[in-house]
Structure 1
Amino acid sequence: MTQAPAATIDVLVVDDNPIMRSALRGILAADDRIRVVGEAANGREALALAKRLRPAVTLLDHRMPIADGLSVVGELGQHSAVLALTSSDDPQTIGDMLQGGARGYLVHGEFEPGDLLRAVHEVVGGRGWLSPIAASVAVSMTRAQTPRRVNPAYNSLTERELQVVNLLCQGLSNAAIAQELWLTEKTVKNHLNHIFAKLGVRSRTEAVVRWTAEQP
């Protein structure tokens, strides 16, 4: 029996820098399940295109002329899942974008091309994807808003898994965790898969937020 092909994910790229838009197109072209359906150079153009094209995901820059990302993220979120993609690592900006409705936040220089592709698939699936600095901000927001409770999975994690999850919460990448603990990246990935299963989460972002928010 022939398996039905996966649905195509339509993406709108919003950035005032044409070179950056071209680079993002090149990265997204590596995944045949992703299709760029439009480009915009500012928030006003983005809203007009999003209303007409209804993209599954919008890659949204923060600093743009006429209308910046923050001014349109809420309305854009009514037509598309928004993934903020910007050079700004300012905690206030990150917090405002996430509270405004962005499902993910990637900081230029803190992700690989494969991370962007995975982020697109995660946000279209209703999940989130954050660069390490953005994850730290999300954790702080959750701490301020959520009453503390002890995660019942705490005692089920091994000593090594506790080390891995705590380094993850500090914003370290798999490679950095591996270097810190003298492990291979494959071993770190295996530990993370076990941690995700025990915490009942599906992504690094969910793991960081849940683990940090629920510690005594």
Structure 2
Amino acid sequence: MISIIIVDDQRLLREGLQTLLQTEEGLEISALCANGKEALQAVQEHKPDVVLMDIKMSGMDGIDAMKRIKREYPGTVVLMLTTFAENRYIVDAMAGGADGFLLKDMSSRIIVQTIRDAMNGEVILPAPIASKLAAKLSVLSEGRADRFDERKLRESGYSFTVRERKIIELMTEGYTNKQISSSLFMSEGTVRNYISVIYNKVGTNDRIAAVAILSGLLLEDVY
């Protein structure tokens, strides 16, 4: 029997998944949770085989909760529940130890099969997620041309190092300093130092204003 905990801040979704999964032979739902903190408590209490973890939740989000679970209960399979629009979290989740992803609009048959495959040790990456991950890793690799519009850079007079460019790209996608540090395998302090230099170059200490300026230097429709 595969025991499962479902974590999502939308009651309709977590109860819908419960209804779907508890009718399947060999699957049982141990607990339903609305946020990461509840998930940690439930994992401690029930020691489930699998956790289906929403990414974006108030309080402790899914990625932070997943990292804690994988650190304290490394044998627990954690599959991130996501939508196609949340692709910017993919690298952070994979770097943190996630065992794979489930798109929220997947069919019930695929969801059930994905859970069984994950229990057999397979890393689960639906095709749209795998495509986004490949694109993201290509951008983060040192050898690939980045997303900057070189003409706009020349006209603006700005100049950024390779590392600054990668940080800027993540900043413009809404990454926090913590997420940037995880994605680029850097300390948060180092990220803050780089961002301070970037702020100095564009002439503002306001993140929103800086992102607006920097976004205007990027190529359109890269992805």
TM-score if structure 1 supplies the norm length? 0.59
Which amino acid counterpart does residue 87 of structure 1 have in structure 2?
A: T
- Matched residue count: 139
Residue 141 (structure 1) shift = 6.0
Residue 118 (structure 1) shift = 0.7
* 1:96-138 Cα distance to aligned partner (Å, 9 max, x none): 11111111112222x2101110111111111122222211133
Report the secondary structure of 1:74's partner residue.
Answer: helix
User: After superposition, where does 1:57-206 map in structure 2 within 5 Å?
Assistant: 57-78=50-71, 79=73, 80-87=76-83, 89-109=85-105, 111-140=106-135
Structure ID, larger Rg: 2
The 1-side partners of 2:133 and 2:35 are apart by: 26
Report the secondary structure of 1:128's partner residue.
Answer: coil
Report the secondary structure of 1:35's partner residue.
Answer: strand
Which amino acid counterpart does residue 92 of structure 2 have in structure 1?
A: D
Question: 2:33 corresponds to which residue?
Answer: 40
- Report runs of 4+ in structure 1 exceeding 6 Å deviation: none
Question: 1:167 corresponds to which residue?
Answer: none
Residue 74 (structure 1) shift = 1.0
The answer (yes or no) to whether the contact 2:5–2:50 under 8 Å persists in 1 is yes
The 2-side partners of 1:88 and 1:96 are apart by: 15
Residue 90 (structure 1) shift = 2.9
The 1-side partners of 2:57 and 2:65 are apart by: 11
Which amino acid counterpart does residue 107 of structure 2 have in structure 1?
A: E
Unpaired segments ≥5 residues, structure 2: 142-223
Unpaired segments ≥5 residues, structure 1: 1-7, 146-216
Residue 88 (structure 1) shift = 5.0
The answer (yes or no) to whether the contact 1:89–1:133 under 8 Å persists in 2 is no
The 1-side partners of 2:111 and 2:98 are apart by: 15
Q: CA RMSD in A?
A: 2.2
The 2-side partners of 1:88 and 1:70 are apart by: 16
Which amino acid counterpart does residue 67 of structure 1 have in structure 2?
A: M
Which amino acid counterpart does residue 112 of structure 1 have in structure 2?
A: S
Which amino acid counterpart does residue 32 of structure 2 have in structure 1?
A: E
